[in-house]
Amino acid sequence: MIKGRIKNIGGNWSFVLDRYLHASQKLIFVIPPSFLKKVDPSYLLTPGESAHLQCKIKGSPEIQVTWYKNNKEIRESDTQRMSFANNVAVLDITNVKVDDSGSYSCEAANDAGSDSCSTEIVVKGFVWFTPNKYPVVQGWPRDNLRTYDAVLECEVTGTPPFEVTWLKNNNEIRSSKKYTMTDQQSVFALHIMNCDVQDAGEYQCIISNEGGSCSCKRPSHSRMHCGWNTRTSSKMVQRWQTTHAQ
C-alpha cells in the first residue's frame, strides 16, 4: 500500500506519491484536514457559566485534534473536557473563571497537512467594592471659611470597563461646576464644590460592568450633613451602606 499527498505546487493542486508505485500495490489518497464549520469567533461569559467550543472537520483519517489556549496545549481536567467523534471536535469548559479568558485554537492534523481555527473567550468578572476599602465621605475646609469641598470616594474590584452613576436623593447627578466626577483605575470619586446646607441628602453610587452591578449609599437615617464645624477635625470620614446585584 502506497500513500500520497495532495499538495499545492505553484498554485496547482497535485497528487504526490510517497514513493514509486508497483503494479501489485494499492494507492491511497490522503486529503489534508480543513474546517467545514469553524468555532464561533468569540464568547462573552460571566463567572460560573460554561463555554461549548465546537467545530466540524473534513479530511482523511486518522485526524489528530489538539486544543490550545494562548498557544499552550490544553490538558483535560475536571473543568475542561475534549472529544472528537464523527468529524466534530468539541472543547467544553465548565464553571468558567476570569482566568479562563484568552485566545483558544483548534488544530487538526494528519499525514497530509494541518489546519486550525481560533476564537476569543472573555470572562467578565463581577464588580464589587474592594474589601476594607468601602466608600467614604471626606471633607476639607475652603480657605478657612465655613464652607468646604466634599469628596465621595470608593474603590471597586472587577473587570473593566465600568459604568458609574452618582445619585442624590435618587436623582442622577450630572457633571457641572458644582459636581466633578473622576476615576483613577478602580477608584471613583464625586467632588462637591463649595458644599453648603443645600447639599445635604442621601448620596448613592452605582457601578456596573457586563458581569453585574453594585451600589453604595448613605442610609436615610444617617445623611451627610454639609457645613463646617471648626471645633472638629478638618477631615470627615463616614462609611456607606453597600449592596450588590448580578
Enter the CATH code of domain 128-245: 2.60.40.10
Q: How far apart are CA 144 and CA 175, in angstroms?
A: 26
* Number of Cβ within a 10 Å radius of residue 72: 8
Enter the CATH code of domain 32-123: 2.60.40.10
- The number of angstroms, rounded, from the C-alpha of 216 to the middle of its chain's C-alpha atoms is 23
Block means of pLDDT (10 residues each) for the chain, 246 residues, are 52 53 57 94 90 95 95 96 96 93 96 94 75 48 58 80 89 92 86 81 84 69 37 35 51
* Residue 156: all three cell numbers together: 471597586
What is the per-residue pLDDT for 10? 56
What is the per-residue pLDDT for 183? 87
Q: Where in the chain are all domains bearing CATH 2.60.40.10? A: 32-123, 128-245
Q: How far apart are CA 188 and CA 186, in angstroms?
A: 6
**What is the model's pTM?**
0.56
Q: Among 246, 178, 184, 173, which Cα is nearest to 209's?
A: 246
Q: How far apart are CA 241 and CA 147, in angstroms?
A: 26
Q: Among 182, 228, 222, which Cα is nearest to 203's?
A: 222
Instruction: Say if residues 16 and 111 touch (Cβ distance below 8 Å).
Output: no
What is the per-residue pLDDT for 14? 52
